[in-house]
Amino acid sequence: MAGHEAFAGSAWRTALHVLTHGGLYREREAIEALGCEDRAAFETLRRHPGIAMLPEGSAAQGVVYDLYVNSLGRLHIRATGRLRPRYSDADAYVDLGRVALSASVAAQVQALYRSYADAEASALQYLRSALAQLEDAGELDAALEGVIDNVEHVESVCFYVGDSFFALIDRFVNLIDTKGERGYLSHLRGKPLSSWANVDVLIVAAFHALFISGRSVRFEEFNGSTLTARALLGRLRALYAQYVAAGCESVEQEPGLFDLARLLRRQGLQGVGQRWLRFRRIYGLNFQKNEYVSTSLASSEDPLAHIHDFAADYAALVSPRLDPQLPECLFFNQLASACLALDASGAPPPQIAGSAAAGWTESLIEKIVASAVRATGSDYGMSSSLRDMACLMKSDDAGLAAAIHTLLPAHFYTCFVSRGFAAMEAADACAIATSVQRRMMFNRWHFIPGNLERSLVLENRHWYYPPMVPDLSEHSDVHRAAPAKARVKYSIRSPGPDMSRPPLTIL
């Protein structure tokens, strides 16, 4: 919010500066946090950018609006004298100033607000009808229980509905039960749909549809935003359009809400082996995650980069005669197979200064991570997995589930490779490396049960659904202790292999 005074000559620019956190947050995403009233005022001020903020203490003519931000960082533009919304008992406000609107401009605000409200009422009725179909089929109770369970197993979810805030985050939980009180969703158990308020219909229908479309990680698309029926339908339709543009399954007529969600799920799974890529952008200040689809995988990277970085290893371990036309996947398959054979034979690994590798395979993993760090110009990079895959080699699902439930964070490793850490104080470098390594090992342990069928996960095991697509994150240093300690401003994360390419299979 700092610096908003510089825009006092335009109430709209003042609001825009605060809304986008001084230009850090993309406007098209930041604006989704506004409630209908505030958005109507904001869009009207956009049409009249010359309307200035009132000087402090000055008299005003016309309809006066207050601009203020609550302790969650949500911008409000409300008529002076209106009761201010409170999102918690400890809520507080930062006043940005006042703006006076003529009667005609104030009427524009109200007309726009009514149009938003009318459109939302129509969209809400569509959602209520979708839930009514579930109720008629005897499936509403199961859908509600599924929503409660899915919310419990998503890493972070926080959103607004009107002037209310709903969340399951580190320091605030009101969606599901806690040790101290019942959650919001639990109060709907056993109640007929006819007794549900619009907010009840919105949350349950939205989360049921979002989970069907892409598991509970899809909930995070509304983190820090205002959840509305219009926004939900708009987001699902936008995803459908992105997938169709990439060549996925399309339909002549839009199906119902939950069938549309199932279609999105099928479309998303069609990305494996295709020349398009799903990815998410994460904004660390509110943990909002938005999915995008890149229809082109054209890269600025040298297609022979793997040969430049690993030619010496290939010549020493596989063959001195390297065919430059050898596919990259086969290149690494052969290299990894050679490393595994050397480890099995007990051959001592190469001695490399600064390396923590205890074997040939570990050394290869370390070099791959180092190559990625150089290619992206990163300060550090990591790769993590199980130390011993053999423990998961079971003949049936029950055996696999039992093996997964015996795992501890120590059963996972994190390969950490830094660039430029030698210039840091040794204690600081060690603290950063240790904290992010441990966090990644914990995350692997936390996420791995989410790959099982839900019925196979033990009730006393705490877990989250794992991320499924790569993501780009901004301002990662404000969300978790480990990235904060490492001062991670930007990060690139890929939870699995590039889905557009065949997996690396080593026999």
For the record, the structure tokens of 359 come out as 């074997």
Rounded to whole angstroms, how far apart are CA atoms 364 and 202? 50
Q: DSSP secondary structure string, 260-286?
A: HHHHHHHHHHTTTTSS-EEEEEEETTT
Determine which of 122-131, 134-143, 226-235, 457-466 has the lowest per-residue pLDDT on average: 457-466
Interval 182-213: pLDDT, tens: 999 999 999 999 999 999 999 999 999 999 99
Determine which of 96-100, 312-316, 351-355, 489-493 has the lowest per-residue pLDDT on average: 351-355
Rounded to whole angstroms, how far apart are CA atoms 424 and 470? 30
Mean pLDDT over 159-177 rounds to: 93
Q: What is the pLDDT of residue 505?
A: 60
**Site of tokens 């080593």:** 506
According to the per-residue pLDDT averaged within each range, which of 412-416, 431-435, 492-496 is highest? 412-416
More reliable by pLDDT, 130 or 392: 130
Residues 6+ apart with CB under 8 A from 192: 135
Helix (H) or strand (E) holding 415: strand 412-418
Q: What residue ranges do the domains of the chain occupy?
A: 4-101, 123-293, 299-363
Question: What would the 3-class secondary structure string for 170-193 be?
Answer: CCEECCCCCCCCCCCHHHHCCCCH
Q: What is the pLDDT of residue 160?
A: 96
pLDDT exceeds cutoff 80 at 162: yes
Q: What is the pLDDT of residue 414?
A: 94
Interval 101-145: pLDDT, tens: 999 999 999 999 999 999 999 999 999 999 999 999 999 999 999
More reliable by pLDDT, 353 or 232: 232
DSSP state of 391: G
Interval 237-263: pLDDT, tens: 999 999 999 999 999 999 999 999 999
Mean pLDDT estimate for the chain:
91
Rounded to whole angstroms, how far apart are CA atoms 107 and 110? 5
Question: What would the 3-class secondary structure string for 454-489 be?
Answer: HHHCCCCCCCCCCCCCCEEEECHHHCCHHHHHHCCC
Q: What is the pLDDT of residue 482?
A: 63
Determine which of 4-18, 142-156, 330-344, 484-498 has the lowest per-residue pLDDT on average: 484-498
Mean pLDDT over 149-160 rounds to: 93
365: exposed, middle or buried (Cβ count in 10 Å: 0-12, 13-18, 19+): buried
pLDDT exceeds cutoff 90 at 17: yes
Q: What is the pLDDT of residue 467?
A: 86
Report the candidate in 49, 1, 43, 8 with the shortest Cα–Cα distance to residue 25: 1
The distance from CA 485 to its chain's CA centroid, rounded to whole angstroms, is 21
DSSP state of 252: S
